[in-house]
Amino acid sequence: MSCPLSTDHLTQLKKFIEVCKTTPDILHLPDLQFFKDYIISIGGKIPSATKTQSPSEENIEEPAMEEEKNDSDPESDLELDMEGVVEPDKLDDSQFMGDINAEPSEENLEKADEKRSEAMKEFSEGHFEKAIELYTEAIKLNPISALLYAKRGQVYLKLTKPNACIKDCTRALELNCDSAAAYKFRGRAHRLLGDWEKAAADLRQACNIDFDEQTDEWLREVTPNARKLEQHKLKQERKKAEKELRERQERLRKAREANAKAAESAPEPDFQSAGPGGPGASNFNDFFEFLKDPEIMASFKDPEVAAAFQDLSQNPANVLKYQSNPKIAAVLKKLASKVPGMETNFAGSGPNGDDVGLD
């Protein structure tokens, strides 16, 4: 079979695929809905839409107000076609489920095949209750046959017992994960219960394993509702992400305000009123001239030195605490040599009341 597309068309198609790879969000555009439906119909998965830009702090409140309007707008409510949905059936112990670890004998396998043939005959004649009985007998003889559970699930569908059908088909898939019949009938049962997304997933998988027209028809029937639910979930996830972003931005804003307020209220060193004998106005100016010394400026980048000097600026007598710290003592000594009168200002009283200088 030759390719129906020209070389130019194939080139354009390749470019389109490359765009989809680099920008998968493009698949959520309304114009490409047909392509998205095709990917889903063959079992593909469409990546969730991502938000590429974050709202700035200046317009945090406006999107929130718009979101509240959308939530209260009746047109934003999800409208699903619920025609054909039935009340769920109640499960009981009458539905026999065999031991999946059993090892049936050859004789039992032959008898199970006979019962299955009888059940199929009763089913074709519309005797569904009798068919259930015969399939159950066959399952007792061969409890590890995925086909028997799937076929009995089909009969439960005819009796409008979707939960019983789902139970049988799930057991069938435990025995054979590639059972197209089990996926098909379980998907139909989910449709009867209004579980649209589960129905679409099962029917899609059935088509992937063994396509047939009835399964495809059932899939097309549930796809509109399943798509609406998918889009609704994407919308809810987006709203949740935007809400978390706004909350995070608000926390950051409050933290910045708190830090700014703390910085404004922090006391500054008052060298002119440090106490009796404190530096005068001229010494205060000399001190800031001294700060221009590159070596001293580098020393004050050390948090330990900065903290010590803050302490001394408020109480020079605390110099005693730092005499044994060579790093701080060196800075103070350099300070004393550059600012006249500083030797006296940063001196305290020793244990015997004697003056204690920096040396």
Angle subtended at Cα 74 by Cα 197 and Cα 227, rounded to the nearest 5 degrees? 20
Q: Same structural domain for residues 128 and 194?
A: yes
Report the share of the chain in percent with pLDDT over 90. 42
* pLDDT the model gives residue 357: 46
Q: Same structural domain for residues 32 and 110?
A: no
* pLDDT the model gives residue 2: 67
Q: Is the pLDDT of residue 14 over 70?
A: yes
Within a domain: residue 346? yes
Within a domain: residue 163? yes
- For residue 282, give its domain range: 278-356
Please give the mean pLDDT across all residues of the chain: 79
pLDDT range class, residue 83, cuts 50, 70, 90: confident
Task: State which of 66-75, 216-225, 296-305, 348-357 shows the largest mean pLDDT.
Answer: 216-225
Q: Same structural domain for residues 112 and 200?
A: yes
pLDDT range class, residue 354, cuts 50, 70, 90: very low
Overall domain count for the chain: 3
pTM: 0.51
Within a domain: residue 212? yes
* pLDDT the model gives residue 184: 97
Within a domain: residue 164? yes
| Tokens coding 270 | 């008052």
Boundary (domain end) residue, out of 231, 259, 288: 231
Q: What is the pLDDT of residues 261-273, one digit of tens each?
A: 887 776 655 544 4
End-to-end, the C-alpha distance of the chain in Å comes to 101
3-state secondary structure of 1: coil
Residues written for the chain: 359
* pLDDT the model gives residue 323: 76
Q: Domain holding 144: CATH number?
A: 1.25.40.10
Within a domain: residue 242? no
